Amino acid sequence: MYTPKPEDRFTFGLWTVGNRGRDPFGLETRPPLDPVDAVHMLAEIGAWGVNLHDNDLVPIDATPAERDAIVARFKKALADTGLQFVMGTVNLFTDPVFKDGAFTSNVPEIRRYALRKTIEAIDLCHELGGKIFVLWGGREGAEVNAARNPMDAVKRFREAVNYLCEYVLEQGYNIRFALEAKPNEPRGDIYFPSTGAYLALIPTLDHPEMVGVNPEFAHETMAGLQFHHIVAQALEMGKLFHIDLNDQKIGRFDQDLRFASENYKESFFLVKVLEDGGYDGPRHFDAHAYRTEDLEGVKEFAKGCMRSYLILKEKVRQFNEDPEIQQILQEIRANEHEVLTYNSVRPDELVPPGFERTAWGAKGYAYERLDQLLFDLLMGVR
Ligand code: GCO
Ligand code: MN
Ligand code: MN
């Protein structure tokens, strides 16, 4: 029952299972994981797909011939295992050239180089069969705010996304973009700090239909926001093109913990939004194993992400079928939705005859009972 199947659409980035446990204070605790070995491992544990940054596979200084050989070897691993390639992205943060931003850099040549690098990463994504391209502007931010007008940052970022959309259209690629927000880290502050900022940017683009969002559990939680609310908004707006699942304690550095390892209840509501809301995109785990783990531990971590998702999916089913919970929801009319338009109900018809303002104010909503029932259900005593 909790064994992952291809239709669950679970994916991992090469950088997630390949994470070597380095942190700002300590060295790597794990050896490098060859991308081909990562593909075999992911297929073995039941993942559906794999994602990558350009430089997770092809070193930044590879020659064209080296690049082609590396890509061919990777494609063979995909073909041998049946693992899907799902999402591509670009590393615009590791190389020192991007230390003060890529698309938002003050230096025009660096902005051009960032676009060129991204275009090559888009070509790679297309070549591998990927249809989603994530843009995470890790270095698009500031510590010294005197150095850049933040309005220029917005304009430059918009121009870059417009440019990339034109490229995809001209090539005839079947690729859509998903913008990923983060409040800080590695920059002191990052522009477009939350998914809501990107949802507001998208309608100002030249090709808004090609661009959606890639919200990440850890990033919104770092900012003290409730993740599943923003995911619900993106889904409702038709803009949830991709999602980064992991976990995080509030107010900390980006922890990228195993999915559902910290916030059981919020993870439940997230899975509920995705499953009840009909999200049919990939479930990508952008997380990594604790620094204490060896390769066996990395496997446990990856299996755990998928298993926890499936357990919570089963809890969602139980919640939706629980007679007592559903009875309360019916009594509070939680699932009723009347489409109210100005023409269908005129202002003087809004309040129906017999509406009891004081009675509604005095009525108990049974939310204590409802929330306790959810706790019992999640803890397995129901
Ligand atoms: C992070 C980000 C990245 C991005 C990835 C995709 O905080 O490191 O979440 O993992 O998701 O770079 O572009
Ligand atoms: Mn991410
Ligand atoms: Mn992250």
Ligand 1, atom 5, residue with closest C-alpha: 136
Structure confidence at residue 296 (pLDDT): 98
- Going by pLDDT thresholds of 50, 70 and 90, the confidence category of residue 35 is very high
Q: Looking at the structure, do residues 258 and 326 belong to the same domain, yes or no?
A: no
Pocket test residue of 16, 52, 136 for ligand 1, highest count of atoms within 8 A of CB? 136
> Do the domain assignments include residue 19?
yes
Rounded distance from Cα 109 to ligand 3 centre (Å): 28
> What percentage of the chain reaches a pLDDT higher than 70?
100
Picking from 231, 138, 225, the residue whose alpha carbon sits closest to that of residue 187 is 138
> Do the domain assignments include residue 106?
yes
- Going by pLDDT thresholds of 50, 70 and 90, the confidence category of residue 178 is very high
> Do the domain assignments include residue 214?
yes
Q: Looking at the structure, do residues 267 and 369 belong to the same domain, yes or no?
A: no
Residue type, 320: N
Give the residue from 296, 320, 344 where a domain finishes.
Answer: 320
180 CA: nearest ligand 1 atom: 11
15 CA: nearest ligand 1 atom: 10
Q: How far, in Å, CA of 247 to CA of 217, rounded? A: 6
Q: Looking at the structure, do residues 110 and 183 belong to the same domain, yes or no?
A: yes
Question: DSSP secondary-structure letter at 258?
Answer: P
> Do the domain assignments include residue 47?
yes
Q: Looking at the structure, do residues 289 and 341 belong to the same domain, yes or no?
A: no
Percent helix / strand / coil, the chain, rounded to 5: 50, 10, 40
> Can you point out the beta strands (E) in 209-324?
211-213, 244-245, 283-285
* Residue 147 burial class via C-beta count within 10 angstroms: exposed 0-12, middle 13-18, buried 19 and up: exposed
Structure confidence at residue 211 (pLDDT): 99
Structure confidence at residue 148 (pLDDT): 98
Q: How many CB atoms lie within 10 A of CB 315?
A: 20
> Do the domain assignments include residue 124?
yes
Rounded distance from Cα 246 to ligand 2 centre (Å): 9
Q: Looking at the structure, do residues 345 and 293 belong to the same domain, yes or no?
A: no
Q: Which ligand is in closest contact with the Cα of 185?
A: 1
Q: Looking at the structure, do residues 329 and 312 belong to the same domain, yes or no?
A: no
Separation in Å, CA 353 to CA 97, 125, 176, 333: 68, 60, 50, 19
182 CA: nearest ligand 1 atom: 7
> Do the domain assignments include residue 1?
no
Give the residue from 320, 340, 366 where a domain finishes.
Answer: 320
- Tokens read off for 261: 């390892």
- Going by pLDDT thresholds of 50, 70 and 90, the confidence category of residue 90 is very high
- Going by pLDDT thresholds of 50, 70 and 90, the confidence category of residue 188 is very high
Structure confidence at residue 350 (pLDDT): 97
- Tokens read off for 238: 């038709």
Ligand 1, atom 4, residue with closest C-alpha: 136
User: How much is the mean pLDDT over the chain?
Assistant: 98
> Do the domain assignments include residue 341?
yes
Q: Looking at the structure, do residues 307 and 204 belong to the same domain, yes or no?
A: yes
Rounded distance from Cα 323 to ligand 1 centre (Å): 41
Picking from 245, 173, 229, the residue whose alpha carbon sits closest to that of residue 9 is 245
| Torsion angle of the four alpha carbons 142, 147, 151, 155, in this order, in degrees rounded to the nearest 10 | -80
Domain count, the chain: 2
Q: Is the shortest distance between the CB of 89 and ligand 1 below 6 Å?
A: yes
Q: Looking at the structure, do residues 358 and 305 belong to the same domain, yes or no?
A: no
Q: Looking at the structure, do residues 187 and 221 belong to the same domain, yes or no?
A: yes
Residue-range definition of the domain harbouring residue 172? 6-320
Give the residue from 299, 320, 341 where a domain finishes.
Answer: 320
Separation in Å, CA 183 to CA 73, 242, 347: 37, 19, 42
* Ion ligand 2 neighbours, Cβ < 5 Å: 216, 244, 286
What's the gap between Cα 268 and its chain centre? 16
Ligand 1, atom 12, residue with closest C-alpha: 136
User: Can you tell me the mean pLDDT for 365-380?
Assistant: 97
Ligand 1, atom 10, residue with closest C-alpha: 286
Could you tell me the end-to-end alpha-carbon distance of the chain, in angstroms, rounded to an integer? 19
Q: Looking at the structure, do residues 157 and 234 belong to the same domain, yes or no?
A: yes
Pocket test residue of 14, 184, 216 for ligand 1, highest count of atoms within 8 A of CB? 216
Structure confidence at residue 357 (pLDDT): 96
Q: Which ligand is in closest contact with the Cα of 178?
A: 1
- Going by pLDDT thresholds of 50, 70 and 90, the confidence category of residue 372 is very high
- Can you tell me whether residue 291 is helix, strand or coil? coil
Q: Looking at the structure, do residues 148 and 112 belong to the same domain, yes or no?
A: yes
Q: Is the shortest distance between the CB of 134 and ligand 1 below 6 Å?
A: yes
Stronger pLDDT, 335 or 370, i.e. the higher one: 370
Q: Which ligand is in closest contact with the Cα of 53?
A: 1
93 CA: nearest ligand 1 atom: 12
- Going by pLDDT thresholds of 50, 70 and 90, the confidence category of residue 241 is very high
Active-site residue set: 53, 56
CATH number at residue 240: 3.20.20.150
- Tokens read off for 360: 């509604």
Ligand 1, atom 2, residue with closest C-alpha: 136
Q: Is the shortest distance between the CB of 268 and ligand 1 below 6 Å?
A: no
Ligand 1, atom 13, residue with closest C-alpha: 136
Q: Looking at the structure, do residues 134 and 252 belong to the same domain, yes or no?
A: yes
- Going by pLDDT thresholds of 50, 70 and 90, the confidence category of residue 320 is very high
Are 55 and 91 in contact by the 8 Å Cβ rule? The answer is yes
